[in-house]
């Protein structure tokens, strides 16, 4: 969704909140708990903060230094213990293990919106987990299919490709792996898929893992990095091995580094998610819920910008590269 139309919706919401009386707007306090420190969530935070400013709500942000339930749960527990939050906007770092801690937040009267990753199977109407107001994020299975088509095209429809990913049981990357494998099996029978290896969201580990695959598979044609650190590691290993342009890399997440690797001919396709929109919309949803809206969609797909060498200079596309002022 374009930022301008988000702003227009927010303006309507401000009026709705105002008509409820200033008190309701003043009372709203939101906790923002993303997955980890990375450019994707930093851009999401910009969206959260912009919406909070536009809508006149308070936000408290806690960002786990590393990916995982062990790092995220204590921060969540501390948010709940504050006792002053009405909503928590979060990216659960495990689709099953974060159900209990987030259910505890709900039991303390805090409403939950998940962004980027979901709980259970992501179907908050009919699935096993129903308490979040909504999931706002990418259709990651579709993103995996797009990545597969892009990589298959880049390698001429045949050869061996490799997936480097972060962790099992994370809805986002799991969807990407699934979509990628399904699409290759369906439409590209001459492409063999290796992996995934799990790097635990560590770019150095992703580099080592990809280097090991390059060493034992001299004919490797391509690699798919399923997020910022996976793509960074895969790209770096290809560069270190002097195989830029010979081994094609598809990168999920539009970091500056992924774009630089595309300029060097190492990365052939970059999938930009819309983290700003995810953050902005999540705050809007919280405000709308607080204003009494009872028909909010339980799932919102925010879409992609698909970036390649041909369109990377087009401002309509380049605006989706993850840019964090001062970083
Ligand atoms: O790819 C994003 C996010 O969508 C995923 O859930 C976790 O990794 C990132 O934050 C990128 O590092």
Picking from 2-6, 33-37, 225-229, which range would have the lowest pLDDT averaged per residue?
2-6
308 assigned to some structural domain: no
Q: Is the pLDDT of residue 1 over 50?
A: no
From ligand 1's centre to the CA of 155, what distance in Å? 25
Residues 144 and 131 occupy one common structural domain: no
321 assigned to some structural domain: no
Domain limits at 218? 140-272
Residues 163 and 239 occupy one common structural domain: yes
Pocket test for ligand 1, best of 37, 38, 91 (most atoms within 8 A of CB): 38
Run of H or E residues at 216: helix 203-216
Residue whose Cα lies nearest atom 9 of ligand 1: it is 227
Q: How confident is the model at residue 3, as a pLDDT? A: 47
Residues 60 and 179 occupy one common structural domain: no
Contact 298, 125 (CB under 8 A): yes
From ligand 1's centre to the CA of 116, what distance in Å? 8
Residue whose Cα lies nearest atom 10 of ligand 1: it is 40
323 assigned to some structural domain: no
Please give the share of the chain, as a percent, with pLDDT higher than 90.
91
The strand pair at 159-165 and 191-198 is best described as parallel
Please give the share of the chain, as a percent, with pLDDT higher than 70.
92
157 assigned to some structural domain: yes
- Rounded Cα distance between 96 and 93, Å, is 9
From ligand 1's centre to the CA of 182, what distance in Å? 21
Residues 127 and 50 occupy one common structural domain: yes
The angle at the Cα of 269, spanning 172 to 160, to the nearest 5 degrees, equals 85
327 assigned to some structural domain: no
219 assigned to some structural domain: yes
317 assigned to some structural domain: no
From ligand 1's centre to the CA of 26, what distance in Å? 32
Residues 57 and 115 occupy one common structural domain: yes
Pocket test for ligand 1, best of 146, 168, 173 (most atoms within 8 A of CB): 173
Residues 12 and 120 occupy one common structural domain: yes
Q: Give the model confidence (pLDDT) of 276-309 as tens digits.
A: 999 999 999 999 999 999 999 999 999 999 999 9
Q: How confident is the model at residue 7, as a pLDDT? A: 52
Assign residue 155 the CATH number of its domain: 3.40.50.2300
Residues 153 and 225 occupy one common structural domain: yes
Q: How confident is the model at residue 25, as a pLDDT? A: 44
From ligand 1's centre to the CA of 214, what distance in Å? 24
From ligand 1's centre to the CA of 68, what distance in Å? 12
From ligand 1's centre to the CA of 228, what distance in Å? 6
| DSSP 8-state code for residue 94 | S
In ligand 1, the atom with minimum distance to the C-alpha of 253 is: 1
65 assigned to some structural domain: yes
Q: Give the number of domains in the chain.
A: 2
In ligand 1, the atom with minimum distance to the C-alpha of 67 is: 7
Contact 120, 97 (CB under 8 A): no
Residues 128 and 211 occupy one common structural domain: no
Pocket of ligand 1 (CB under 6 A): 35, 38, 40-41, 116-117, 172, 227-229, 252-253, 273
The rounded mean pLDDT for the chain is 94
Residue whose Cα lies nearest atom 1 of ligand 1: it is 227
Q: Which comes out higher in pLDDT, residue 20 or 112?
A: 112
From ligand 1's centre to the CA of 38, what distance in Å? 8
Residues 71 and 10 occupy one common structural domain: yes
From ligand 1's centre to the CA of 22, what distance in Å? 36
Pocket test for ligand 1, best of 37, 40, 64, 72 (most atoms within 8 A of CB): 40
SS (H, E, C) 202-214: CHHHHHHHHHHHH
Q: Give the model confidence (pLDDT) of 158-216 as tens digits.
A: 999 999 999 999 999 999 999 999 999 999 999 999 999 999 999 999 999 999 999 99
Residue whose Cα lies nearest atom 12 of ligand 1: it is 228
pTM: 0.94
Match 């044609």 to its residue by tokens.
Answer: 221
Token representation of residue 206: 């992703």
Contact 30, 88 (CB under 8 A): yes
Residues 40 and 102 occupy one common structural domain: yes
Residues 133 and 149 occupy one common structural domain: no
Residues 145 and 133 occupy one common structural domain: no
Q: Give the model confidence (pLDDT) of 251-270 as tens digits.
A: 999 999 999 999 999 999 99
In ligand 1, the atom with minimum distance to the C-alpha of 252 is: 1
Q: How confident is the model at residue 262, as a pLDDT? A: 98
């Amino acid at each position: 969704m374009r930022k301008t139309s988000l702003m227009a919706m927010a303006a309507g919401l401000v009026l709705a909140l105002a008509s409820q009386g200033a008190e309701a707007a003043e009372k709203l306090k939101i906790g923002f708990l993303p997955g980890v420190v990375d450019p994707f969530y930093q851009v999401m935070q910009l969206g959260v903060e912009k919406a909070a400013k536009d809508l006149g709500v308070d936000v408290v942000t806690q960002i786990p230094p590393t990916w995982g339930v062990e790092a995220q749960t204590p921060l969540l527990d501390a948010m709940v213990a504050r006792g002053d939050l009405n909503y928590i906007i979060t990216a659960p770092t495990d689709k099953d293990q974060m159900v209990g801690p987030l259910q505890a937040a709900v039991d303390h009267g805090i409403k939950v919106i998940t962004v980027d990753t979901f709980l259970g199977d992501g179907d908050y109407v009919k699935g096993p987990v129903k308490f979040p107001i909504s999931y706002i994020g990418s259709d990651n299975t579709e993103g995996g299919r797009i990545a597969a088509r892009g990589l298959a095209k880049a390698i001429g429809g045949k050869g061996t490709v490799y997936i480097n990913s972060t962790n099992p049981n994370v809805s986002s990357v799991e969807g990407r792996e699934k979509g990628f494998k399904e699409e290759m099996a369906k439409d590209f029978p001459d492409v063999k898929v290796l992996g995934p290896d799990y790097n635990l969201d560590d770019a150095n580990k992703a580099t080592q893992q990809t280097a090991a695959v390059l060493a034992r598979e001299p004919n490797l044609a391509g690699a798919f990095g399923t997020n910022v650190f996976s793509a960074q590691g895969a790209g770096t290993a290809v560069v270190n091995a002097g195989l830029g342009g010979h081994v094609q890399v598809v990168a999920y997440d539009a970091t500056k580094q992924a774009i630089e690797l595309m300029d060097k001919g190492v990365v052939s396709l970059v999938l930009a998610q819309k983290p700003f929109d995810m953050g902005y919309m999540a705050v809007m949803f919280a405000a709308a819920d607080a204003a009494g809206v009872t028909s909010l969609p339980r799932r919102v797909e925010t879409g992609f910008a698909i970036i390649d060498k041909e369109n990377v200079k087009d401002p309509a596309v380049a605006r989706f590269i993850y840019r964090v002022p001062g970083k």
